[in-house]
Amino acid sequence: AVVSTQSTGHGTIELDRVLVKIIDTPAFQRLRNIKQTGSASYVFPGATQTRFQHCIGVCHLAGIVIDRLALLTEISPVDKLCVQIAGLIHDIGHGPFSHLFDDIFINNADWSHELQSCRVFDYILDTHTDVAAGLKERGLMDNDIIFIKELINTKVLQSNKDCEWRFRGRSRDKSFLYEIVANERTGIDVDKFDYLLRDCYYLGVNCTLDWRRLVHMMKIVEKDGQRRIAIRDKEKDNVFNMFYLRMHMRRIAYQHPTSTSIDFMIRDVLKLCNDLVFPDVLLSDTIHDMEKYLCLTDCILSIISHMQPTEKNSANLQKAKELVRRIHSRQLYSLICETPPSTRDFKNKEGILDDVIGEDKILRGQLITSVLSLNFGNWASSGDPLQTVLFYDKVGNVLSDKLYNNFSTFVPSSWSQKQLRFYCTSEDKEILGLARRKCNEWVQRSFPENS
């Protein structure tokens, strides 16, 4: 039995009832209050799309890809359901304001929202017997649960250079299933299809991705002892457009300078209230406390704004409330300077700040640096995303690297670039003027060719 509903960008979609059982849990419903593009709604008023909508969209697209591939090879109903569940819950582990919480506030190399999604899924199975029973009725066993979690966290695919099979959920002959939801090999996956389509729609950006044609041109091929998903060679421009659109959205939206400023302000609010939101656990430690973690949504700013001061929390709470007030009244951290685009790493940001500040101690704690990193993806060491994509010709032959190199001579001179941005947290005009002068002097010293 299926349930029909409407989805922005996809029209009428049908969901298996066991998927609806997962959707109807508080852990999934929480995604209604987590925006897909974090603080971008402060810059793009229409950017109100949520992780709730996105996850359902990815689930739907995963089913479409499975149905296409099922015309080419045998795929069991259990395999299809597992892939759709993975698409449905792949982002269920996100914290407030999505990547802001994950990458800027937590910033822990041993933790990721993908790993947290797997933990939330375990929590749902432990606390909702109807969901666990529904999956069991549909034939899902312990190895299928492992398979679902592997589909979400597939980073081992990217680092697997020796082609050794390291997954436990499915055998090597079903390796193509690991390239549908989160494809760490080539970057072509339904997660990207949905968020590019959805984000462009809500932000008012022209979407150049024809995902339906890409799905129609998918084929399963043998490569290095594994069955992989390949794309027809004549779709190379469509594939490139997808990666270009991703880079374009990072530049104009995901890393918009104003949105980045607000990200830092929200980060500082959360840091100030790290020990104030819950009486017995730090906000940053909720990643290890599922009950507390699942209480966190974008509403946290409103909660902090309405918290009552006490003798213990008065100073930090007052500072946090002032930052929230500044966000809402558009008195933001100021972007005062940025470097020209380059291929430099800017890894030693603390050293750069020391060099900028010099003897002017008044700027200590007033400057923040942020790296605008633009690329076509990290799937190929060269930076060219097409080099990792498998293409086949009209008779079904997988193209060699030599043939790939004949695709086009129209390629960028560089596949990635970075810019270092300087923000000042102060509203004092004298401090702002000093900070702007010191940062500009550092840029002129460091980039004399652009002076």
Q: What is the pTM of this model?
A: 0.94
Identity of the residue numbered 128? H
The dihedral formed by the CA atoms of 213, 214, 218 and 223, expressed in degrees to the nearest 10: 160
The dihedral formed by the CA atoms of 177, 181, 182 and 186, expressed in degrees to the nearest 10: 70
Candidates 113, 128, 256, 288; catalytic one:
113
Measured between its terminal Cα atoms, the distance across the chain in Å is 66
Q: Print pLDDT tens along the chain (451 aa).
A: 789 999 998 999 999 999 999 999 999 999 999 999 999 999 999 999 999 999 999 999 999 999 999 999 999 999 999 999 999 999 999 999 999 998 889 888 788 999 999 999 999 999 999 999 999 999 999 999 999 999 998 876 555 555 678 899 999 999 999 999 999 989 999 999 999 999 999 999 999 999 999 999 999 999 988 999 999 999 999 999 999 999 999 999 999 999 999 999 999 999 999 999 999 999 999 999 999 999 999 999 999 999 998 877 789 999 999 999 999 999 999 999 999 999 898 988 889 999 999 888 889 899 999 999 999 887 766 788 888 899 999 999 998 655 555 556 667 778 899 999 999 999 999 999 999 999 999 999 999 987 6
CA distance 384 to 447: 26
User: What is the pairing mode between strands 391-392 and 226-232?
Assistant: parallel
Count CB-CB contacts under 10 A for residue 322: 13
pLDDT of residue 134: 96
C-alpha distances (whole Å) from 198 to each of 53, 231, 392 are 9, 23, 29
CA distance 217 to 68: 9
- Give tens-digit pLDDT for 337-395: 999 999 898 988 889 999 999 888 889 899 999 999 999 887 766 788 888 899 999 99
Is the Cβ–Cβ distance between 148 and 169 less than 8 Å? yes
Rounded to an integer, what is the distance from CA 266 to the centroid of its chain? 18
- Give tens-digit pLDDT for 245-300: 999 999 999 999 999 999 999 999 999 999 999 999 999 999 999 999 999 999 99
Q: Which two tokens stand for residue 182?
A: 């989160």
pLDDT of residue 2: 87
Annotated catalytic, 113?
yes
